[in-house]
């Protein structure tokens, strides 16, 4: 539904977005991740037709954004960064206005506004002016605006920014639910949000796509992916790690911490000599040596670690 090809944007001599391409289909929730200033918002602004790209092609719902902007703009709802709104308008007035701009009139308009208000839990502030709303309500008012015409495509720039944990949870659920029959792309800094809602993740750094895959695929790139975490009682730490490092398929073993006679350790999986039974082998060794184990599990990998290793220049060179 969204097709972006070789998109670039230069501000003066600074290249904010550098040759980005991606696709988004119905039923997908695409998470846009990246450090501040990576080019997430700039990309979204180009996809929504707010700023023209320096180079590249954008197709939204089958319409070329540059050649046919108005039909293209009909296809999506957009929540800009910081959720702007006209302060002097009431929530109802603002939603009516956005419905009218989208050509929804009369009875259909009333229904559309009520539906959006319901989805975003705005009933209690319907007649309040936007200036008087708390940040969370302001945000949801702008979100409601993007849903008013029940678009097939949603483009949300930091939809959970400034919300409290309950509201975050609600918005995430909303995105997930709507993602079943819409195409959604949203940007965020919050990694757990990506894991909870996205079917695909794109990580952008300094204007380039540095990773593109499912959250599981990305997590598998972590050094922690497939590692075995265990907690043993009454075993000397040095001996423990020395023994564990000899398990087949183990890259190395390290002590995480020691306390009250307990040792927590991690056995990293050697990705080259992948051993699918690493955890079982560790358990077997523990049984042979009669270690008292009170915790043992396989780690899935951590998105934050992957994110850091991809987007921090130092760790990238270190890994290379």
Partner 1 sequence: MNAWGGIKAIMKRELGGYFTSPIAYVFLVIFLLLTGFFTFTVGNFFERGEASLVSFFTWHPWLYLFLVPAVGMRLWSEERRLGTMELLLTMPIATWQAIVGKFLASWLFLALALLLTFPVVLTVNYLGDPDNGIIVAGYVGSLLLAGSYLAISCMTSALTRNQVISFILSVMICLFLILAGYTPVTDLLVRWANPVLVDVIAAFSVMTHFEGFQRGVLDARDTVFFLSVIGFALFTTGVIIRNQRAG
Contact positions vs partner 1 (CB under 8 A): 9, 11, 45, 48-52, 69-71, 73-74, 78, 80-82, 84-89, 93, 97-98, 100-103, 129, 142, 145
* Percentage helix, strand, coil for the chain under 3-state DSSP, each rounded to 5: 40, 30, 35
What is the residue whose two structure tokens read 């009139």? 105
Q: Which is nearer to partner 1, 60 or 303 (CB)?
A: 60
Rounded to the nearest whole angstrom, what is the least distance from the CB of residue 172 to partner 1 in the complex?
A: 23
Rounded to the nearest whole angstrom, what is the least distance from the CB of residue 86 to partner 1 in the complex?
A: 6
Q: For the chain, list the strands marked E by DSSP.
A: 2-11, 14-24, 29-33, 55-60, 63-64, 76-79, 153-157, 183-188, 200-205, 208-213, 228-233, 250-259, 262-269, 292-298
Q: Are 265 and 237 in contact (CB under 8 A)?
A: yes
Q: Which is nearer to partner 1, 91 or 211 (CB)?
A: 91
Q: Which is nearer to partner 1, 11 or 216 (CB)?
A: 11
Rounded to the nearest whole angstrom, what is the least distance from the CB of residue 139 to partner 1 in the complex?
A: 13
Rounded to the nearest whole angstrom, what is the least distance from the CB of residue 278 to partner 1 in the complex?
A: 50
Nearest to 248 by CA among 220, 224, 270: 270
Sign of CA dihedral 163, 168, 170, 173: positive
Rounded to the nearest whole angstrom, what is the least distance from the CB of residue 304 to partner 1 in the complex?
A: 30
Q: Are 135 and 82 in contact (CB under 8 A)?
A: no
Q: Which is nearer to partner 1, 36 or 317 (CB)?
A: 36
Rounded to the nearest whole angstrom, what is the least distance from the CB of residue 78 to partner 1 in the complex?
A: 5
User: Which residues, listed in sequence order, are joined to residue 5 by a DSSP beta bridge?
Assistant: 57
Rounded to the nearest whole angstrom, what is the least distance from the CB of residue 55 to partner 1 in the complex?
A: 13
Q: CB neighbours (10 Å) of residue 221?
A: 16
First to last CA, the chain: 36
**223 half-sphere exposure, CB direction, 13 A CA radius:** 12
Q: Which is nearer to partner 1, 10 or 220 (CB)?
A: 10
**Sequence-distant (≥ 6) Cβ neighbours of residue 185 within 8 angstroms:** 2, 24, 29, 30, 31, 32, 44, 47, 153, 154, 155, 156
Q: Which is nearer to partner 1, 89 or 285 (CB)?
A: 89
Rounded to the nearest whole angstrom, what is the least distance from the CB of residue 149 to partner 1 in the complex?
A: 9
Q: Which is nearer to partner 1, 77 or 215 (CB)?
A: 77
Number of residues that this document lists for the chain: 320
Q: Which is nearer to partner 1, 103 or 276 (CB)?
A: 103
């Amino acid at each position: 539904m969204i097709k972006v090809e070789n998109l670039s944007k230069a501000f003066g001599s600074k290249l904010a977005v550098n040759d980005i391409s991606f696709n988004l289909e119905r039923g997908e929730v695409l998470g846009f991740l990246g450090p501040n200033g990576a080019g997430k918002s700039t990309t979204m602004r180009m996809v929504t037709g707010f700023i023209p790209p320096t180079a590249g092609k954008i197709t939204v719902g089958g319409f070329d954004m540059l050649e046919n902007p108005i039909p293209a703009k009909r296809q999506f709802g957009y929540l800009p960064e910081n959720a702007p709104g006209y302060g002097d308008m009431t929530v109802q007035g603002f939603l009516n206005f956005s419905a009218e701009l989208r050509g929804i009139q009369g009875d259909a308009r009333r229904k559309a506004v009520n539906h959006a208000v319901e989805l975003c839990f705005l009933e209690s502030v319907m007649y309040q002016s936007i200036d008087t709303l708390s940040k969370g309500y302001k945000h949801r008012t702008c979100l409601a605006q993007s849903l008013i015409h029940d678009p097939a495509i949603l483009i949300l720039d930091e939809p959970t920014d400034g919300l409290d944990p309950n509201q975050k949870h609600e918005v995430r659920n909303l995105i997930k639910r709507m993602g079943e029959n819409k195409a959604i792309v949203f940007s965020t800094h919050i990694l757990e949000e990506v894991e909870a809602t996205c079917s695909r993740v794109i990580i952008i750094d300094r204007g380039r796509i540095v990773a593109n895959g499912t959250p599981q695929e990305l997590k598998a790139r972590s050094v922690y992916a497939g590692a075995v975490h265990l907690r043993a009682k009454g075993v000397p730490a040095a001996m423990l790690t020395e023994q564990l490092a000899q398990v087949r398929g183990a890259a190395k073993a390290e002590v995480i911490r020691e306390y009250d006679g307990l040792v927590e350790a991690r056995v990293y999986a050697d990705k080259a000599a992948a051993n699918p039974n690493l955890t079982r082998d560790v358990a077997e060794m523990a049984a042979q040596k009669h270690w008292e184990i009170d915790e043992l599990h396989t780690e899935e990998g951590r998105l934050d670690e992957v994110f850091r290793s991809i987007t921090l220049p130092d760790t990238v060179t270190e890994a290379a």
